[in-house]
């Protein structure tokens, strides 16, 4: 039985309206994040050849940058949800201990989901939804990897179907955004990211209650 009241349509509407209100910022953030995360791998594949050591190093750097950007994206989305402001450098403010905790939690999450998928697929889908918000617990509450998974499970308890529906809608939006040469991702990525912050806030009952800003109204 659903015990949490999360309206998927309202979540997407909030993401859309907040994206429109901060369009320049979120487009730049999306571009910078994608370039920073992907550039080392691109260099490794297309520029550096015949040097396995350097190739591995560049891919490692790309992986670390991706973790940093993911942490920054969560922090920024929560900040914008709560009526705050953000700048591009906020994507890269994660410190070493947080990056390490986020990496370990991500590894645990992937292992748990992989084991679940091996058990007739359905358990993996259930677990992927149950622990989907582990990153928020690390970024906002400085949780350890195990604590982060436990807090995500507590937040999504009783709301599995709603969170699953939100995940499906988000994936659909991202696929649609990728169709026109990927340009649409500049909009659908921030929309779904901000919508996820909305869902997290509703599931945990934390942060300031946020209403979607009117079109053209910037978030302070």
Side-chain half-sphere of 99: how many Cα atoms within 13 Å? Answer: 14
Q: Residue 220: what pLDDT?
A: 33
Q: Tell me the three state secondary structure of residue 184.
A: coil
Q: Residue 38: what pLDDT?
A: 84
Q: Tell me the three state secondary structure of residue 49.
A: coil
* Backbone phi, psi, residue 46, to 5°: -110, -20
Query: CA triplet 28, 193, 40: central angle to 5 degrees?
Result: 55
The pLDDT of residue 44 is above 70: no
pTM over 0.85: yes
Could you tell me the pLDDT band of residue 207, with boundaries at 50, 70 and 90? low
Q: How far apart are the first and last CA of the chain?
A: 38
Cα distance between residue 173 and residue 185, in whole Å: 9
Residue 91 near residue 69, CB atoms below 8 Å: yes
Q: Give CA separation, 129 vs 2, 41, 133, 137, in Å.
A: 14, 29, 8, 15
Q: Residue 206: what pLDDT?
A: 76
Q: Residue 180: what pLDDT?
A: 79
Q: Residue 59: what pLDDT?
A: 81
Residue 192 near residue 168, CB atoms below 8 Å: no
């Amino acid at each position: 039985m659903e015990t949490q009241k999360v309206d998927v349509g309202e979540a997407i509407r909030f993401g859309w309206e907040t994206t429109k209100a901060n369009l320049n910022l979120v487009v730049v953030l999306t571009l910078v994040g994608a370039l920073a995360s992907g550039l080392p791998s691109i260099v490794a594949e297309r520029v550096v050849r015949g040097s396995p050591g350097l190739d591995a190093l560049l891919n490692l750097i790309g992986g670390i940058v991706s973790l940093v950007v993911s942490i920054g994206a969560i922090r920024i989305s929560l900040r914008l949800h709560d009526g705050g402001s953000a700048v591009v450098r906020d994507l890269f403010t994660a410190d070493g201990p947080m990056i390490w905790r986020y990496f370990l939690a991500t590894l645990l999450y992937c292992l748990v989901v992989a084991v679940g998928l091996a058990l007739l697929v359905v358990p993996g889908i259930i677990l992927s939804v149950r622990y989907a918000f582990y990153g928020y617990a690390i970024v906002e509450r400085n949780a350890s990897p195990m604590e982060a998974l436990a807090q995500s499970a507590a937040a999504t308890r009783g709301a599995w179907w709603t969170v699953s529906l939100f995940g499906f809608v988000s994936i659909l939006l991202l696929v649609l955004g990728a169709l026109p040469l990927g340009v649409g991702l500049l909009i659908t990525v921030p929309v779904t990211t901000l919508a996820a912050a909305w869902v997290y806030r509703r599931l945990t009952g934390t942060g300031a209650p946020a209403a979607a800003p009117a079109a053209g109204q910037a978030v302070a």
